[in-house]
Amino acid sequence: MSTTAYLFTRRQLLAVLVAAAALSYLFQNTYVYLYANWQREEYSHGFLIPILSGLLLWQRRRQFEALPFNGSWAGVALMLVGLALYVLGTLAAITAVDAYAMVIVIAGAVLAALGWRAFRIALAPLALLLLMNPLPAFLYNNLSSQLQLISSQLGVAVIRLFGISVFLEGNVIDLGSYKLQVVEACSGLRYLFPLFTLGVIVAMFCRSRLWIRAVIVLSTVPITILMNSFRIGVIGVLVDRFGIEQAEGFLHDFEGWIIFMACMVLLIAESWLLLRLTGDRRPLREIFAIDWPAPRAAGAAAQPRALGAPAIVALLVLLAVALPARAIPQREELVPERDALSGFPLQLDAWSGRRGRLDADTLDILKLDDYLMADYALPAQSPVNLYVAYYASQRTGVSAHSPASCLPGNGWRMTEIGRYQVPGVRIGATPLQVNRVVIGQGSARQLVYYWFQQRGRVVTNEYAVKWYLFVDSLRRQRTDGALVRLITPLREGEAIGAADARLGRFAAEAVTRLTRYIPD
């Protein structure tokens, strides 16, 4: 029985090359952004993703040859959505948006050319491209904070298995002689992102049931958490026995490499076990074999491929947009004049303050441009700690770390959390609304107010902060802003209402003065 092989003509291949050149020209700044992020350990696998995506598409080329391409107008619409997102990201100068826009444009162009039947074959390799893009900063920070807490708790459990007395306070592991800080680099994200990507690739090559492939992908998360926690526990044991050098330098990095290789072995072993438990006795080389394209069937009738109107329109739209979009001027970010927070007064009416400092490691993590940390007190009353973290620009993913993520890392449990309007206190014409949190650590309790003060707005929702960041970058060419946090300890037996009144009185004195240091 003869079959038909649909082949591209030379003109069509030339059109594909032109489209690729237009995409490369349009997204050249995006490639620079991706390359810079691929230097980070957690995204170092990004270099391989486009290669693997291309390999998977090439592997399926005989399936493409067997189908006539019936282009879809939905692809043109999807491509227009991606191009609009790119333009908005360019105007706002937020390159992270461009990276996702690029994948959407590529998917739209492929759908416009191939149509739905062939697009389903290409969908998995195209979706793989999303894994080469870094997470938005606020998602990354929140995920990192949660993984740090989990890894710290499980790591301490490993240390205790060796009979070592250890105390955990947030992300600080106290061994008595030494204290280990489980910092962002130890959160496990350096393993999670590459291992998750590996799990997706393994699932794509796995010739087995869908639920097995889904389990392989999802299991990369607990594998990473458990192995990273085991690594932290082992480091704690080695530090206790042989000294702090075990947690530093080459040995620390080498331990990380060993753990990642162990994660890979566990993933492969889990895949083998799942298959055996379900009665699949095929050898792994058969289950995970890479199918190289078979030779074209003998006697197959070669037929020039006919590309429909959607493919032609998609190419014309891409060419029409590429030059004007690249011609959009790089808008210079406006950073308003302001007073440095070092000049914030330490005497606020009857409140007397004493300035504090953040250590170098904390400053390296926060990446802020200016800050204020000071303790204020009235005579014979509990103090109020004022912390302001100011960022002149938040375009490149740098942003304020939410206390909701940071406080648990320091060992504090949030027992109450909600929104609260501070009576009688306004910023401009707007009543001051804050996130109000009661935290506890042992018998100690504290009351926390915090809010994000961004370009004349007081915002309590982190997702709203990101939305306004995008809008203001687009409309006002500004992304400056600050996190403001007030903390006061609760004396034994003191009512929460008394602490509210204390923070309210202090806010009335301090908040109106902040406008010189956090511009509207």
Element (H, E) at 91: helix 73-92
Element (H, E) at 415: strand 413-427
The whole-number pLDDT of residue 344 equals 94
- Going by pLDDT thresholds of 50, 70 and 90, the confidence category of residue 397 is low
Q: DSSP 3-state assignment of 299?
A: coil
Amino acid of residue 368: L
> Quick one: tokens of 77?
């619409």
Residue of 284 and 62 predicted with greater confidence? 62
* CB-facing half-sphere around the CA of 391: CA atoms within 13 A: 24
Q: Is 50 exceeded by the pLDDT of residue 2?
A: no
Mean per-residue pLDDT, 289-305:
70
pLDDT digits (tens, 9 = 90+) for 65-98: 888 888 899 999 999 999 999 888 877 767 788 8
Q: Which pTM value belongs to this model?
A: 0.76
pLDDT digits (tens, 9 = 90+) for 458-508: 999 888 888 888 888 888 888 889 999 999 999 888 889 999 999 999 999
Instruction: Bin 337: left if φ > 0, else alpha if -120 < ψ < 50, else beta.
Output: beta
Amino acid of residue 299: G
Mean per-residue pLDDT, 151-165:
84
Q: Is 80 exceeded by the pLDDT of residue 355?
A: yes
pLDDT digits (tens, 9 = 90+) for 29-66: 889 889 998 988 888 889 999 999 998 898 888 888 88
Q: Is 60 exceeded by the pLDDT of residue 179?
A: yes
- Going by pLDDT thresholds of 50, 70 and 90, the confidence category of residue 1 is very low
Q: Is 60 exceeded by the pLDDT of residue 392?
A: yes
The whole-number pLDDT of residue 385 equals 95
Least confident of 22-36, 224-238, 293-307: 293-307
pLDDT digits (tens, 9 = 90+) for 114-141: 999 999 999 999 999 999 998 877 777 7
Q: How far apart are CA 42 and CA 189, in angstroms?
A: 6
Q: 172: which strand partners? A: 169, 181
Amino acid of residue 346: L
Q: Is 60 exceeded by the pLDDT of residue 185?
A: no
Percent of the chain with pLDDT over 70: 90
The whole-number pLDDT of residue 4 equals 74
Angle subtended by helix axes 95-114 and 309-326, to nearest 10: 160
Mean per-residue pLDDT, 189-207:
85
Residue of 101 and 187 predicted with greater confidence? 101
Amino acid of residue 381: Q
3-state helix, strand, coil in the chain (%, to 5): 55, 20, 25
- Going by pLDDT thresholds of 50, 70 and 90, the confidence category of residue 370 is very high
User: Residue 205 carries which DSSP code?
Assistant: H
Residue count of the chain: 520
The whole-number pLDDT of residue 248 equals 62
User: Residue 41 carries which DSSP code?
Assistant: G
- Going by pLDDT thresholds of 50, 70 and 90, the confidence category of residue 254 is low
Of the candidates 319, 308, 302, 295, the one whose C-alpha atom is nearest the C-alpha of residue 118 is 308
* Domain boundaries, given as residue ranges, for the chain: 4-136+304-326, 137-287, 341-516
The whole-number pLDDT of residue 492 equals 86
Least confident of 90-94, 205-209, 428-432: 90-94
Angle subtended by helix axes 10-26 and 28-37, to nearest 10: 60
Q: How far apart are CA 53 and CA 201, in angstroms?
A: 10
- Going by pLDDT thresholds of 50, 70 and 90, the confidence category of residue 160 is confident
Q: Is 80 exceeded by the pLDDT of residue 384?
A: yes
Mean pLDDT for the chain overall: 84
